Amino acid sequence: MVQESAAAIKPTNLDFVQAASLPMVSLTCWQALTERAGLQPGQKVFIPAGSGGLGFAIQLAKHLGAQVATTTSTDNAGWVSHLGADEVIDYKKQEFENELSGYDVVLGTIRGDSIEKSTQISPGGKIVSLIGPLDAAFARSRRLNVLLRLVFGLMSRKIIRLTKNRGLTYSFLFVRPDGDQLAQIGKLIEAENKSGR
Ligand SMILES: NC(=O)c1ccc[n+]([C@@H]2O[C@H](COP(=O)([O-])OP(=O)(O)OC[C@H]3O[C@@H](n4cnc5c(N)ncnc54)[C@H](OP(=O)(O)O)[C@@H]3O)[C@@H](O)[C@H]2O)c1
């Protein structure tokens, strides 16, 4: 059963199948960029793997007035440019840490050493990871018990130390249902359609 507080009216320009694809990715991107990172107009945000579901963040970041870099495979380069990415790194041919610099916000969307490498391009910035490691703050926000707080704290100890040493902040975000935010996203999607974009 879906709680009323988690639901919103479907955007009029989407069918039900299209609309059903929205809540998870769009709320994740909204909560990461607006609530957690506080992304401001003119800031630079790095959104790796822009051709995936979380590529919605490219469109949202552009709406918020930010400058966006992303990574993708060769075949999807045109697609992420179409979504609005200002800088596109083909991860099959280039290393993003050699191409980008001065980013204010980085989303963690790729497993492996991508988040560690991102610290090189975002001095003083914020890393919001959607893939982990989970941290103690997340455990506290979910009112998890002391043992889990300890475990998550240990899991994220390395990346938190690395980011702190480089003047960045690290946090893990796990999406939560929010009907009000979903309604705002729905209005943006309707407005984009009316403006013909
Ligand atoms: N914390 C949360 O609340 C939350 C919410 C939603 C999703 N997530 C997580 O976020 C991650 C991404 O989700 P998604 O829905 O965007 O996944 P997805 O739709 O499966 O997209 C993954 C994308 O990754 C790209 N990719 C693969 N290897 C890459 C690499 N080395 N460098 C750059 N791009 C690469 C692929 O693009 P190409 O085709 O161009 O190779 C693919 O489009 C998943 O692990 C998911 O579980 C977390």
Do 104 and 44 meet the contact criterion of CB atoms below 8 Å apart?
yes
Mutation to probe ligand 1, out of 130, 142, 174 (largest number of atoms < 8 A from CB) = 130
Q: What's the gap in Å between 128 CA and the centre of ligand 1?
A: 14
pLDDT value at position 197?
A: 56
Identify the CA nearest to 119 among candidates 101, 136, 134, 135.
101
Q: What's the gap in Å between 113 CA and the centre of ligand 1?
A: 14
Give the domain ranges of the chain: 4-191
Q: What is the pTM of this model?
A: 0.96
Rounded distance, CA 160 to CA 197, Å? 40
pLDDT value at position 107?
A: 98
pLDDT value at position 192?
A: 82
Whether 196 shows a pLDDT value over 60: the answer reads: no
Query: What is the CATH code of the structural domain delimited by 4-191?
Result: 3.40.50.720
Q: What's the gap in Å between 110 CA and the centre of ligand 1?
A: 6
